[in-house]
């Protein structure tokens, strides 16, 4: 396999097997699956909906959901990398072919990539920023005794310190959250956990 | 990255080092409401026009506070905040002065209850990546969390600086984080129920 555009790392062994299985789908099936994938890629927080649609696809096409999820994870490696690197449809097509997907299906996927490109580009803007690893987290919360703003008297605030690693450097990031923001943050993180679990 | 146009830092004659040192200190310590009068005083000590001072003082204020809140301690990190076209000697001088003052300013910030930067928005998505931990290299889901953080509104006046931080969380890191956040929620409930 030549150099891939979407990643510099070696690709999981399972991927070529998954591409082989994808090649067995009819053009219509592949088109349906691609539609589900792009709906997710353009609205990435709609994890529950995505999984429901995958489940429907599996049922309708008499495929087991477990293997289908693995195939989907292999496919999604490419868009994930492509968004971070701002790849063109041609590069996406080339990568799928290099991974073992048929030319016809790779071209079809790349065409959908192009069609959805405005939304995907907008999402990618956030991702081309450097991605950091979260190393540690500390917090404290306290009560403001009073300040020049009357509303803040006696309000609880939550202070968070994130220790993040950018390459070899470590940086501390401090921020303050209001109590509603804290609960919202917790709620969102619980949603993330559920989402990650359903992908495993 | 703070936006600092080079023209804000181009005094017509070289200011004395002491004047620059004093200015950095005053810009850091000054609450936003006092930046205006500080700018006026700066005109004469640095031989800059009122318009230049009006841009210089808040920019230096944001810069020094940003450095303190982000915990930047290395010269390279501070130098990196300046635009490339920035006056070299002045950049080095400012960096040197800031480094000399950082720990004192940190103490000052903690004591005076200057607010921390605030979380203004967050977003996330699931990312499928190759896990480098397992020998067979599996595709695993991770979370990309983006936090939008605004330097204290009071600090930045009319142009608050919002920076975005994107953090990758593995499932394990997320579980640990949730454990911590859950404990906080329990503590808050205990306080509320007293």
**A183 has pLDDT over 70:** yes
Residues A145 and A125 in one domain: no
Tell me the nearest-neighbour CA distance from A65 into chain B, angstroms. Answer: 17
Residues A157 and A65 in one domain: no
Q: Do B139 and A77 touch (CB under 8 A)?
A: yes
Residues A71 and A19 in one domain: yes
Residue spans of the domains in chain B: they are: 17-112, 118-193
Give A-chain residues touching B183 at CB under 8 angstroms: none
Note whether residue A117 is domain-resident: yes
**A114 has pLDDT over 90:** yes
Residue where a domain terminates, one of A81, A107, A129:
A129
Query: Do B157 and B35 form a contact (C-beta atoms < 8 A)?
Result: yes
Residues A120 and A71 in one domain: yes
Tell me the nearest-neighbour CA distance from A62 into chain B, angstroms. Answer: 24
Is the CB of residue B125 less than 8 Å away from at least one CB of chain A?
Answer: yes
B168: which strand partners?
A: A133, B144
Domain that residue A152 falls in: 140-198
**What pLDDT is stored for residue A76 in this prediction?**
94
Residues A42 and A117 in one domain: yes
Give A-chain residues touching B171 at CB under 8 angstroms: 193, 196-197, 200
Nearest to B122 among A77, A164, A188 (CB): A188
Between B172 and A33, name the one with better pLDDT.
A33
**A26 has pLDDT over 50:** yes
Residues A27 and A107 in one domain: yes
Is the CB of residue B112 less than 8 Å away from at least one CB of chain A?
Answer: no
Question: Which one-letter DSSP state was computed for residue A148?
Answer: S
**A157 has pLDDT over 90:** no
* Alpha carbon B169 to its chain's center: 23
pTM: 0.63
**What pLDDT is stored for residue A152 in this prediction?**
43
**What pLDDT is stored for residue B1 in this prediction?**
43
Note whether residue A5 is domain-resident: no
Residues A163 and A113 in one domain: no
Any idea which of A104-118, B101-115, B134-148 has the lowest mean pLDDT? B101-115
**A147 has pLDDT over 70:** no
DSSP run (H or E) holding A138 = strand A131-143
Residues A83 and A57 in one domain: yes
Note whether residue A134 is domain-resident: no
How many domains does chain A divide into? 2
Residues A157 and A122 in one domain: no
**What pLDDT is stored for residue A34 in this prediction?**
97
DSSP run (H or E) holding A159 = strand A156-166
Residues A76 and A169 in one domain: no
**A127 has pLDDT over 90:** no
**A31 has pLDDT over 90:** yes
Between B136 and B54, name the one with better pLDDT.
B54
**What pLDDT is stored for residue B113 in this prediction?**
55
| Nearest residue to B161 via CA among B144, B178, B177, B149 | B149
Give B-chain residues touching A137 at CB under 8 angstroms: 177, 180
**What pLDDT is stored for residue A149 in this prediction?**
44
Confidence band of B194 (pLDDT split at 50, 70, 90):
low
**A18 has pLDDT over 90:** yes
Residues A32 and A108 in one domain: yes
* Alpha carbon A171 to its chain's center: 24
Q: Is B17 in a helix, a strand, or coil?
A: helix
pLDDT 10s digits, A37-94: 999 999 888 888 999 999 999 999 999 999 999 999 999 999 988 888 888 999 999 9
Strand (E) positions, chain B?
118-130, 139-150, 162-169
Residue of A nearest to B114 (CA): A147
Residues A27 and A123 in one domain: yes
Q: Best of A11, A39, A168, A192 to disrupt the B interface by mutation (most B CBs within 10 Å)?
A: A192
Q: Do A185 and B138 touch (CB under 8 A)?
A: no
Residue of A nearest to B143 (CA): A192
Note whether residue A135 is domain-resident: no
**What pLDDT is stored for residue B132 in this prediction?**
67
Between A143 and B2, name the one with better pLDDT.
A143
């Amino acid at each position: 396999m030549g150099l891939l555009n979407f990643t510099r790392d070696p690709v999981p062994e399972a991927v070529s097997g998954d591409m082989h299985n994808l090649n067995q789908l009819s053009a219509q099936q592949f088109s349906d699956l691609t539609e589900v994938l792009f709906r997710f890629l353009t609205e990435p927080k709609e994890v529950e909906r995505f999984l429901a649609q995958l489940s429907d696809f599996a049922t309708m096409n008499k495929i087991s959901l477990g293997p289908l999820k693995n195939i989907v994870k292999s496919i999604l490696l490419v868009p994930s990398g492509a968004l971070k690197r701002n790849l063109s449809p041609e590069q996406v097509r080339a990568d799928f072919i290099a991974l073992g997907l048929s030319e016809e299906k790779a071209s079809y996927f790349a065409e959908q990539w192009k069609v959805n490109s405005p939304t995907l580009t907008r999402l990618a803007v956030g991702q081309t920023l450097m991605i950091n690893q979260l190393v540690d987290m500390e917090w404290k919360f306290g009560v403001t005794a009073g300040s020049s703003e009357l509303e803040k008297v006696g309000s609880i605030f939550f202070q968070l310190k994130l220790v993040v690693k950018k390459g070899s450097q470590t940086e501390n990031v401090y921020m303050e959250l209001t109590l509603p923001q804290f609960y919202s943050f917790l709620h969102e993180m619980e949603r993330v956990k559920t989402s990650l679990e359903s992908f495993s | 990255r703070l936006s600092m146009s080079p023209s804000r830092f181009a005094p017509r004659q070289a200011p004395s080092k002491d004047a620059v040192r004093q200015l950095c200190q005053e810009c850091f310590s000054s609450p936003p409401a006092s930046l205006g009068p500080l700018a006026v005083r700066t005109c004469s000590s640095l031989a800059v026009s009122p318009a230049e001072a009006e841009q210089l003082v808040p920019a230096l204020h944001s810069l020094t506070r940003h450095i303190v809140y982000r915990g930047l301690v290395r010269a390279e990190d501070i130098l990196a905040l300046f635009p490339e076209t920035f006056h070299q000697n002045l950049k080095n001088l400012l960096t040197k002065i800031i480094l000399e003052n950082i720990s004192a300013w940190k103490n000052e910030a903690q004591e005076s209850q200057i607010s921390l930067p605030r979380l203004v928005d967050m977003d996330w998505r699931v990312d499928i990546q190759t896990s480098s931990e397992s020998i067979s290299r599996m595709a695993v889901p991770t979370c990309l969390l983006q936090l939008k953080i605004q330097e204290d509104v009071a600090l930045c006046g009319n142009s608050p600086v919002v920076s975005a931080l994107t953090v990758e969380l593995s499932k394990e890191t997320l579980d640990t984080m949730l454990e911590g956040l859950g404990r906080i929620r329990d503590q808050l409930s205990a306080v509320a129920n007293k």
